[in-house]
Chains A and B, each alone.
Chain A
Amino acid sequence: MNPAQTRPFPSDDNQLRIGYSSLSTDTRMNVPEDDELFIRRTMDEDPRLGVELLFRRYYQPMCSHAVKYVGSKSVAEDLVSDIFYQFYQQNIFTDITSSYRFYLLRTVRNRAFNYLKQQLNRQTVDEDADEVGRLAVSAGDAPDSLIQYEELYHDVQDAINDLPIDRRRIYLLNRFEGKKYQEIADELQLSIKTVEVQLYRANKHIRSLLKRKWYLLLLLLTSF
């Protein structure tokens, strides 16, 4: 199928997008301006350039968002890069009926959520990566309410904030910055043993805090 035919070409009425068949006039003021018009046009002519434009626009905010869940810069960046990679490589962009932003953010939140879930529950069998990519839009095993995404990352932040200040510092150097034990020990002039112990305690604390609230939900989500 030619994507140009399935998607209404931007016209005077281009605020509407396919997929919102029941759009009524009184809610139209809520619909965002089509700020992806240019990218959409580029995508039809040169998908590779189009994806690169999307990358330039959304990579930074997506990483910034993902890191709130996964806690690690490099994990967040890998996760986001991977989404763009599949987006291009598997021609996902041809199937997008919403805005690109809609797809990208839903996917990044979903994957960040799944990553955290796996971290909390290591026994979980990893889903096939491709499958996750395909199911992302169709809300696979995402929480049933969007609000739970925010709940989760706020809980993550709270759990980290709850740590004693020194332990938090070590935890963030390790998790967020991705520094090795030795580097942290050198930087803070601590023994490597101290760093290990502090990290162990920090991880235990955060896991137990998150599990207490999220275990049931995560268990339900992973059981199908």
Chain B
Amino acid sequence: MTITKELIFDYLAGKASALQKQMIESWLQDQRNEELFYQYLIEYETMRPTYTADVAQAIDNYNQFLKNAGSNTTPGSNQATVVKTRPIWLRWSIAAAVTLLLMTSVWLLRNQWQYESYETVYGQTRNISLPDGSTVVLNANSRLRVPRFGFSSGPREVLLEGEALFSVSHTKTHQRFIVKTDHQFQVEVLGTVFNVFARQRGGKVVLNQGKVNVLFTGKVTRNKVTLKPGQLVTIDPQRIRVKSTPEPEAHAAWCNNRYVFDKTTVQEIGYLLRENYGLTISTTDKELLALTISGSYSASNAGELLQLLEETLGISTSRQGDTVMIARPAVPQPLQ
């Protein structure tokens, strides 16, 4: 009986009898047969692969590996490869230094990799869709940071600087949605529409729909307020006030480039200009700052807002860089 390819295939598949195995064993004593055996083996593995390897990728890796190693050894020379090794203490020091550097940069850059950051410049608003289906309209000169990891599991936490209108979708697992601010309060909700204002001059939360908890993190007497729709809470460094508002939407009118004023002073509009457009109002006539304005106006940029002030209040404005001078029209403008 001769050793055929079929017999070897059976043997490789584990189907050879004890007698056949013994024959193959003695057949393999001859190195030429071993050659043949490997040829069959390759054929067998090609015909009946255990799995398909990614050869192209492997070749890429292999060539990459050679390229990297090629710089310090010269293949083609017949010398045994000598790999230079650094002393062990030096290797450890380098490893330690690299680790330290890596950890430091990870720590310093943690905000970059932990959070997806959405920012608006002066005069810009932006619509943001969050992974959970909630939407956020970010007002000008504001920043919203959303964690890249773990946002969808556990409480959904975002960080806000500036102003934004949140429309939070309710999840099946009743995950809380938390808006954190640097201004001594945070807002917790399950699913609702509300406006959060967190800037230098204080904080404000206005609830349109649903129910939210406002938690105070600063040194204030109360630590929690639950808002009902139509209620708003303002947070000053000194005190917290809960009020009712007939039109909660008015507080988020900025989303549609509208401004709703209700006996709003020029001083307050000045804050608005500074916060949203980076402009500072300046005047020699302090009385002008106490003038008030009421009504709903549409203005898509700072120029239109200033024009609106001119028309409704009968004052004149002039812009010099980031400063806006306001004056009574009766006073003649000095000639240039």
Q: Are A61 and B49 in contact (CB under 8 A)?
A: yes
Q: Are B25 and A89 in contact (CB under 8 A)?
A: no
User: When A and B form their complex, what is the total count of cross-chain residue pairs whose Cβ atoms lie within 8 Å?
Assistant: 119
Closest to A73 in B: B51
Closest to B43 in A: A61
Q: Are B32 and A81 in contact (CB under 8 A)?
A: no
The verdict on A84 contacting B62 (CB below 8 Å), with A60-B52, A147-B24, A150-B11 known, is yes
Instruction: Please classify how large the interface on chain A is, using the bins under 10, 10 to 19, 20 to 34, 35 or more.
Output: 35 or more
- Extra pairs beyond A30-B33, A30-B36, A98-B31 (6, CB < 8 Å): A58-B42, A59-B58, A61-B42, A62-B45, A63-B53, A101-B42
Closest to B30 in A: A27
Please provide the chain B residues from 14 to 48 with a CB less than 8 Å away from any CB of chain A in the complex. 14, 21, 24-25, 28, 30-39, 41-42, 45-46
1/0 contact string of A43-79 vs chain B (CB within 8 Å): 0000110001001101111111101100001000100
CB of B50 within 8 A of chain A?
yes
Q: Closest Cβ of chain B: how far from A116's Cβ, in Å?
A: 15
User: B-side binding surface: helix, strand, loop or mixed?
Assistant: helix
The verdict on A59 contacting B45 (CB below 8 Å), with A47-B76, A90-B81, A147-B25 known, is no
Q: Are A102 and B11 in contact (CB under 8 A)?
A: no
Q: Are B66 and A55 in contact (CB under 8 A)?
A: no
* Complex CA–CA separation, A67 to B36 (angstroms): 22
Q: Which residues of B contact A31 (CB under 8 A)?
A: 32, 35-36
The verdict on A88 contacting B36 (CB below 8 Å), with A56-B59, A60-B52, A61-B42 known, is no
The verdict on A32 contacting B36 (CB below 8 Å), with A105-B41, A147-B24 known, is yes
Q: Which residues of A contact B108 (CB under 8 A)?
A: none
Q: Which residues of B contact A147 (CB under 8 A)?
A: 21, 24-25, 28
Q: Which residues of A contact B42 (CB under 8 A)?
A: 58, 61, 101, 105
CB of B80 within 8 A of chain A?
yes
22 A-B pairs whose Cβ atoms sit less than 8 Å apart in the complex: A32-B35, A47-B76, A48-B66, A56-B55, A56-B59, A58-B42, A60-B45, A61-B41, A62-B45, A64-B50, A65-B41, A65-B45, A67-B51, A73-B51, A85-B62, A89-B69, A90-B81, A91-B76, A105-B38, A105-B42, A147-B24, A150-B14
